[in-house]
Amino acid sequence: MHIPDGYLGPVTYGGLWAAMAPVWLYASRQMRKTLQAVQVPLLALSAAFSFVVMMFNVPIPGGTTGHATGATLVAILIGPWAAVIAVSIALAIQALVFGDGGITALGANCFNMAFAEVLVGYAVFRLIAGRRGAAASKGKRFLIGGAVGSYAGINFAAFLTALELGVQPLLYVGQDGRPLYCPFPLKLTIPAIMLEHVFLFGVVEALVTVFVLLYLRRSHPDLLEGRS
């Protein structure tokens, strides 16, 4: 889901950078209002987890690979706006240092995975898990919310990615009639990216989220009670 440089034309990547600017600004303001000093180490830990979990490429035999993002889990742990920043930092380091996702495409990748995925995942989680509080994190709905939320979040991000890639041949065609950037049309990008996320990578995301929540509930219950 990390769009490389060159797959998106200037208007698309520029537009998505422009869309992320107010999101980062708003997220920073929300952090100033809500992020407690004791949560700062957890912010660093969450961003680190998101980075490392994305290194675990899951193979489709003979096909492609994909991975979980941890985005919804991070939102459950530190709140959605801090999660926007945490996942954005992980994506920025991936792009700058490791060439995983492009620099021009960083706005798009942050829009998909650090903004849309985080907010959709967290909203669905909250809808199912109910109100915050010590009691809420002990119930079954808390885990179901984590599973369904993270599954919905990653699939929403996958859909946006497919959309952004698939519209490129409509937007940019060279003088020879061939696409200038991503050459694959919507009817190819949507099934290719959605099927693998609906049936495999989304399930992996849900499993990772539930597994970590289960572990934290046993080992660090205090960590979940404050926020969730």
Partner 1 sequence: MTKEGINYRKLWIWIAVLIVLAPLGLLLPRLFKSGGAWGEWGADELKDIAGYVPAGLKRISELWTAPIKDYAFTGWDKGGKSYVAYIVSGIVGVAMVAAVSYVLGKILKKK
Q: Within positions 160 to 179, which residues make up the interface with partner 1, using CB under 8 A? A: 161, 165, 172, 174, 178-179
Q: How far is CA 68 from the centre of its chain?
A: 9
Instruction: Report d(CA 129, CA 123) in Å as an integer.
Output: 10
Question: Contact region for partner 1 (CB under 8 A) — 40-48, 110-118, 119-127, 148-156?
Answer: 40-48
Question: Which is closer to partner 1, CB of 139 or CB of 183?
Answer: 183
Rounded (5°) CA angle 140-52-227: 40
Residue 228 bridge partners (DSSP): none
Question: Which is closer to partner 1, CB of 50 or CB of 148?
Answer: 50
Q: In whole angstroms, how close is the CB of 126 to partner 1 at the nearest point?
A: 21
**Residue 104 makes contact with partner 1 by CB under 8 A:** yes
25, 34, 139, 214: which one contacts partner 1 (CB under 8 A)?
34
Please answer whether residues 208 and 55 qualify as being in contact, where contact means their C-beta atoms are separated by less than 8 angstroms. Answer: no
Question: Which is closer to partner 1, CB of 124 or CB of 181?
Answer: 181
- Count helices and strands in the chain by DSSP H and E runs: 11, 2
12, 23, 67, 129: which one contacts partner 1 (CB under 8 A)?
67
Question: Which is closer to partner 1, CB of 16 or CB of 43?
Answer: 43
Instruction: Report d(CA 5, CA 100) in Å as an integer.
Output: 10
**Residue 7 makes contact with partner 1 by CB under 8 A:** yes
Question: Contact region for partner 1 (CB under 8 A) — 3-11, 117-125, 134-142, 146-154?
Answer: 3-11
Residues 43-62 that bind partner 1 (CB under 8 A): 43-53, 55-62
Question: Contact region for partner 1 (CB under 8 A) — 15-23, 98-106, 120-128, 130-138?
Answer: 98-106
Residues 121-160 that bind partner 1 (CB under 8 A): none
Instruction: Report d(CA 12, CA 157) in Å as an integer.
Output: 16
**Residue 100 makes contact with partner 1 by CB under 8 A:** yes
Tell me the per-residue interface mask from 179 to 218 with partner 1, x by CB under 8 A, - otherwise: xxxxxx----x--xx--x----------------------
Please answer whether residues 151 and 72 qualify as being in contact, where contact means their C-beta atoms are separated by less than 8 angstroms. Answer: no
Instruction: Report d(CA 119, CA 227) in Å as an integer.
Output: 16
Question: With CB under 8 A, what is the number of residues at the site for partner 1?
Answer: 81
**Residue 93 makes contact with partner 1 by CB under 8 A:** yes
Please answer whether residues 162 and 192 qualify as being in contact, where contact means their C-beta atoms are separated by less than 8 angstroms. Answer: yes
Instruction: Compute CA distances 190 → 97, 129, 174, whole Å.
Output: 29, 30, 23
Instruction: Report d(CA 177, CA 123) in Å as an integer.
Output: 43
